[in-house]
Amino acid sequence: MPATKRALRPKHVPLRTCVACRTTEAKRGLVRVVRTPEGRVELDLTGKRNGRGAYVHESRACWDAALKRDKLGHALKVPLQAQDMDSLRAHAAALPAAPQDGQQKEHDGIDDHQR
């Protein structure tokens, strides 16, 4: 008999790690950035393009961190070209400053702390 019982897994959700904050979560809420065969770094809004990919939260804070500290370049193992950096910055600038989706449900749990 097996020594351990397998925990029930309702379903498999593929997890991705944001290169900026290193938080792991389902692909939803993250955007893929792909390194093209030409060494360019571009947004991959379909998530299906070929090439090495990295993920960043769709939040300005994570994009700021990913670009300013060149975490994207490290994750993709390629230096970001100035024009790619510009287009990624433009994407980041269009995002809301704070996440607008998810993350807002925490109030539901607060009452549980009553004794």
Decide whether 27 or 83 has the Cβ nearer to Zn ion: 27
Least distance from Zn ion to the Cβ atom of residue 19, Å:
8
Quick one: tokens of 53? Answer: 């990919």
Least distance from Zn ion to the Cβ atom of residue 43, Å:
15
**Distance of alpha carbon 92 from alpha carbon 62, whole angstroms:** 9
Least distance from Zn ion to the Cβ atom of residue 114, Å:
32
Choose, by CB under 5 A, the member of 16, 32, 35, 57 that binds Zn ion.
57
Quick one: tokens of 102? Answer: 């998810």
Decide whether 34 or 59 has the Cβ nearer to Zn ion: 59
- The answer to whether the beta carbons of residues 55 and 30 sit under 8 Å apart is yes
Quick one: tokens of 114? Answer: 């009553």
Quick one: tokens of 18? Answer: 């944001």
| Residues at the site binding Zn ion, with contacts judged by CB under 5 A | 18, 20-21, 57, 62
